[in-house]
Every structure is written in C-alpha cells, then in structure tokens.
C-alpha cells in the first residue's frame, strides 16, 4: 500500500505559476510510475502528465505540453508538477497516482486526495 499526499495548490492569476508536490509514505514509491490527473467540476478525470519510476521518461497531455513539467526526487519520495503560464481552464482538483506508466486512470493503483488549483482570469 502506498499513501500519496498532494500539496501546493491554491489560487493564482492567469499567467502565474504553481508547483504541486506529491509525497509518498513508503520507499516502494520509487518502483512506481507517477501520473498527475485533474478533474474540473462536471468533467471526467483528465490525464495531465506521467513520469517513469526513475524519471527517465515523461510525457504530457497536449493541453499542458510546454507549460507544465513533471519531475521526481526519489530520495525524498516526492514527485513535482511545475505549472507555468497557467490559464483559467487549468482550474481543477489535481491528483497524483502511483502505478504503471500510462495516461489512463486504470493504469494507476494508488491515488492521493487531491489539491485544488484555481486560476483566475
């Protein structure tokens, strides 16, 4: 079992930046790929970014490519999502998840509780 805790969300103006963190409770975290997803009110959960267990590969949804960067620090059991040039449409609850490297929620077994990101226009 891996417990994940997201932090770093908040309210920011359009064009601003936030860095989300996803911290795990166990060192076995380092054997999992980590994905970030988001869910806006009334919408399905949407893939944002994913990174392999060693940080060697990462990929992004088209909607965030070039603006968001995913990275991980395994000694700290933490994955980051640096979000730049934020837009109002980025407003959502952001979740991190541990599992296999992929873009589907079904690829991931463990989920955090989420952190709210609100981008004002």
Rounded distance between C-alpha atoms, residue 2 and residue 65, angstroms:
28
Which pLDDT score, from 0 to 100, does residue 1 have? 82
Which pLDDT score, from 0 to 100, does residue 28 have? 78
Residues forming a β-bridge with 117? 10, 92
pLDDT means over runs of 10, the chain (121 residues): 94 98 87 96 96 94 98 94 98 97 96 98 93
Which pLDDT score, from 0 to 100, does residue 91 have? 98
∠ CA 4-19-75, rounded to 5°: 50
Which pLDDT score, from 0 to 100, does residue 27 have? 75
Which pLDDT score, from 0 to 100, does residue 8 have? 98
Q: CA nearest 21: which of 98, 79, 103, 85?
A: 79
Place of tokens 């999502």: 81
């Amino acid at each position: 079992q891996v417990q994940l805790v997201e932090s770093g969300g908040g309210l920011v103006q359009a064009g601003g930046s936030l860095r989300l963190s996803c911290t795990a409770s166990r060192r076995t975290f380092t054997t999992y790929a980590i994905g970030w997803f988001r869910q806006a009110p009334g919408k399905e959960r949407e893939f944002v970014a994913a990174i392999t267990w060693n940080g060697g590969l990462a990929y992004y949804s088209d909607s965030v490519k070039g603006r968001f960067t995913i990275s991980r620090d395994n000694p700290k059991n933490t994955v980051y999502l640096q979000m730049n040039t934020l837009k109002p449409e980025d407003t959502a609850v952001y979740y991190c998840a541990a599992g296999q490297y992929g873009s589907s929620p079904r690829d991931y077994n463990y989920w955090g509780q989420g952190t709210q990101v609100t981008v004002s226009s």
